[in-house]
Amino acid sequence: MSSSPHILLINPYIWDFTAFDLWAKPMGLLYLGGVLQANGYRVHLLDCLDVHFKGTETFPGRPPRRAFGTGKYFRQRLSKPSALNQIPRYYYRYGVPPTLFLEALKGLPRPEAILITSSMTYWYRGIKETIDLVRLIFPKCPIILGGIYATLMPEHAEKTMHPDYIITGPGERAILNLLAEITGITPHGVPGSDDPDSRPWPAFDLYPFLDYVTLLTSKGCPFSCPYCASKILHPKFVQRSVESIIAEILYWHSAKGVRDFAFYDDALLVGFDNHLGPVLEALIRKDYSLRFHTPNAMHLREITLDTAELLFRAGFKTLRFGLETVNWDRQKTWGGKLVQDDLYRAVTALGKAGFGKGQIEVYLLCGLPGQPLTEIEQTIREVKSLGLRPRLAEYSPLPKTPLWEEACRFSRFPLAEEPLFHNNSLWPCLSPFSWEKVQDLKDLART
């Protein structure tokens, strides 16, 4: 095994005004890790955001964990990029101190290749810092950049990051073929693009400690919301088998003692009776007292009384749904995935099932191109009148999505020129804009 080629996976730093570990793990990178392990590679992971990173055990100011495994990241205040100088907020590097990251790099054998993932387009400064640090230790090692930013803005990534290779879109097959050229290993276990069960499970075993495990029971989404990049990142909607999902959950519970599992599906409840429903029924029978969370919004339309009762009995502790807006005409233009009756029916069913209304949170999409403040205010008030907890989801313009061109026209920033302006903390498409109005909306949602 020692002669097997060594591949290093890196989840990079975040540079932003705010960031929080809401069951956040680099799922695409971890799936690649599982695929590489299955193909005979030695794999190491350095996750710059991991609060259990080697060397942090006695580090001062270690962020505490909250209930169910969430919590803050390490952070260090930075000078703002010049493009953001007028924004009246502090700016930070989120992740372990660079000294610890460099020490970890120095302690590793030289990799044959380094795979770095990417997420939000406006986090690219953190990726650039990560690559620069890696180059200090492994200046001649090929760097392969993939992930969301690399897929949505490959030209910007090429110009700014200067990686040796860029992978766009789903990466398993492309990575294996590229690594075959670099290492000489011919892939023997290539996952099928239409068969999610052909992929090994994500390599959570690469972490030194697990507060939780994130799950994907499907890829893609059957809906086509104009503000979302799901169709670009995963063009087809495919679901895993019931047996595979159960086996993965029970493995991490038995092997690592994990009790908290967070679903990151884009459409978790679709086909519930033949997909998630049987999974939960089987787990209830085994009585492991697991806890489940849904940081990615579930669809309210899919909630019936039977569904709600099963979620409650299975141990769902964090429920988040996507409402977006109570402007029902706007909902129709987005494909009509939700109508007014769906909201009230779902709230009633969840209450009857035993969920307290304070447990039920809904995402409200705010700052859309042309969206008036009165619409946001009305949505917040409507949600609160139902006893639900509103979560403001500030709109972040994403290149290549159907709403992108309209966002560029409405924004007070040159979105196409600088990804930093995609940052949802800027409310880049809210018009008319004022920080006072933004604060009023946040206060209204909280009180």
pLDDT in tens, 169-186: 888 889 999 999 999 988
Q: What CA–CA distance (Å, rounded) separates 326 from 279?
A: 32
Instruction: Say if residue 165's pLDDT is above 80.
Output: yes
Please tell me whether residues 268 and 168 are part of one structural domain.
no
Please tell me whether residues 254 and 162 are part of one structural domain.
no
Sign for the CA dihedral angle at 96, 101, 102, 106 comes to: positive
Cβ 235 vs Cβ 193: under 8 Å: no
CATH code where residue 132 lies: 3.40.50.280
Please tell me whether residues 223 and 165 are part of one structural domain.
no
Cβ 153 vs Cβ 419: under 8 Å: yes
What residue numbers bound the domain in which 24 lies?
A: 6-183
Q: Of the candidates 269, 195, 265, which has an alpha carbon nearest to the alpha carbon of residue 230? A: 265
Q: Of the candidates 142, 200, 188, 150, which has an alpha carbon nearest to the alpha carbon of residue 170? A: 150
Instruction: Say if residue 2's pLDDT is above 70.
Output: no
Q: Does residue 202 belong to any structural domain of this protein?
A: no
Please tell me whether residues 102 and 162 are part of one structural domain.
yes
State mean pLDDT over 351-379.
94
Of 183, 201, 228, the one marking the end of a domain is 183
Q: What CA–CA distance (Å, rounded) separates 394 from 364?
A: 8
Average pLDDT of the chain to the nearest whole number: 94
State mean pLDDT over 399-411.
96
Per-residue model confidence as pLDDT tens digits over 268-321: 999 999 999 999 999 999 989 999 999 999 999 999 999 999 999 999 999 999
Containing H/E element for 160?
helix 154-161
Please tell me whether residues 150 and 218 are part of one structural domain.
no
- In this structure, the number of other CB atoms found within 10 A of the CB of residue 293 comes to 24
Q: Does residue 340 belong to any structural domain of this protein?
A: yes
The one-letter amino acid code at 215 reads L
Please tell me whether residues 343 and 387 are part of one structural domain.
yes
Please tell me whether residues 286 and 142 are part of one structural domain.
no
Please tell me whether residues 219 and 178 are part of one structural domain.
no
pLDDT at 359: 87
State mean pLDDT over 352-360.
90
Residues 6+ apart with CB under 8 A from 2: 42
Q: Does residue 441 belong to any structural domain of this protein?
A: yes
**Maximal CA-CA distance, the chain:** 64
Please tell me whether residues 305 and 161 are part of one structural domain.
no
Please tell me whether residues 60 and 113 are part of one structural domain.
yes
Of 162, 183, 204, the one marking the end of a domain is 183
State mean pLDDT over 58-86.
92
φ and ψ at residue 113, rounded to 5 degrees: -160, 155
Instruction: Say if residue 31's pLDDT is above 60.
Output: yes
Task: Name the 3-class secondary structure at 390.
Answer: strand
Instruction: Say if residue 88's pLDDT is above 90.
Output: yes
State mean pLDDT over 17-37.
96
- The structural domain count of the chain equals 2
Among left, alpha and beta (phi > 0; psi -120 to 50; other), residue 335 is: left
Q: What CA–CA distance (Å, rounded) separates 230 from 125?
A: 23
Cβ 398 vs Cβ 422: under 8 Å: yes
Please tell me whether residues 172 and 238 are part of one structural domain.
no
Q: Does residue 350 belong to any structural domain of this protein?
A: yes
Q: Which residues pair with 307 in a beta bridge?
A: none
Cβ 16 vs Cβ 122: under 8 Å: yes
Q: Does residue 377 belong to any structural domain of this protein?
A: yes
Q: What CA–CA distance (Å, rounded) separates 357 from 386?
A: 8
Please tell me whether residues 217 and 167 are part of one structural domain.
no
Instruction: Say if residue 83's pLDDT is above 80.
Output: yes
Of 183, 204, 222, the one marking the end of a domain is 183
Q: Does residue 426 belong to any structural domain of this protein?
A: yes
Per-residue model confidence as pLDDT tens digits over 104-161: 999 999 999 999 999 999 999 999 999 999 999 999 999 999 999 999 999 999 999 9
CATH code where residue 403 lies: 3.20.20.70
Q: Does residue 203 belong to any structural domain of this protein?
A: no
pLDDT at 395: 97
Per-residue pLDDT band at 193 (split at 50, 70, 90): low
Q: Does residue 67 belong to any structural domain of this protein?
A: yes
